[in-house]
Amino acid sequence: MDPKLTEVSQLFERLKASLMRNDLDNCSSLLSQLKVMLTGFRSLPPLFEDSPNAVQELTIARNIYEHAVVLSVKAEDQDAFERDFFQLKPYYTDIGARLPSSPQEYPILGLNLLRLLVQNRIAEFHTELELLSSSALENPCIKHAIELEQSFMEGAYNRVLSARQTVPHETYVYFMDLLVKTVRDEIAGCGEKAYDYLSINDAKQMLMISSDQELSKFITEERPDWEIKNGLVFFQKAKESAPCKEIPSLQLINQTLSYARELERIV
């Protein structure tokens, strides 16, 4: 085997071992070294030069970038996830036919869809879906993201919250927690506008929270203007603190009449 390829393979084994131990700092250091070493392989994108070790080089590079994506999730670094995913993507789209399929492909593609959904980048979400084959759309990891987006757009927040318990891959938990937080905040905002108060049990049911302690923690961290008293959750303080915007009715009437006069002159 080529000495460079041997050195990369040995360093990659150390990266995998560190990732198994959750030694994220060491993983980041090893990953940086590996990325620099990969630049010496001319068979990789964007050059795609033929070489005797091209398949081995492409395979190990794909494996490294797949582990980089997983590392970014464990480090809860969305910017790193985006960078590493776009470095990995050509190995799925441009040279997939030259390599055996990767068992991590669909979990990572689904993870990227989930990231776009969490970041509310819905147009990019649908663009990525258009690039997938019909068979890929049937994969559980891809279907999970599609069903989540449909539930989110329909306002079926209970389905989004319950989907946290049925993630198809362990790496999905981080983004699902972010999505659950977003949905719970949306439900809380609607609830405080619809009700003056709710019983603790009704508030837990509305927010899909299982215990009084979890509800109290949510209120302390996310809704400090709510008040728990006598077994009830009061939203009145939140309503009082919310700014009341006046509708400039006279200004709107004057503008409408002015537009009407201008239209008469044009006609």
For residues 113 and 72, is the Cβ–Cβ distance under 8 A?
no
Domain ranges, ordered by start, for the chain: 1-19+29-71, 107-194, 197-238
Its pTM stands at 0.79
pLDDT digits (tens, 9 = 90+) for 19-29: 999 999 999 99
pLDDT digits (tens, 9 = 90+) for 177-201: 999 888 888 889 888 888 999 999 9
pLDDT digits (tens, 9 = 90+) for 149-183: 999 888 888 888 888 888 998 899 999 999 988 88
- Kindly report the backbone phi and psi dihedral angles of residue 162, in degrees, each rounded to the nearest multiple of 5, phi listed first: -70, -25
CA neighbor of 224 nearest in space, from 192, 198, 248: 192
pLDDT of residue 239: 53
For residues 265 and 235, is the Cβ–Cβ distance under 8 A?
no
CATH number among 3.40.605.10, 1.10.10.10, 1.25.40.990, 1.10.10.410, domain 107-194 = 1.25.40.990
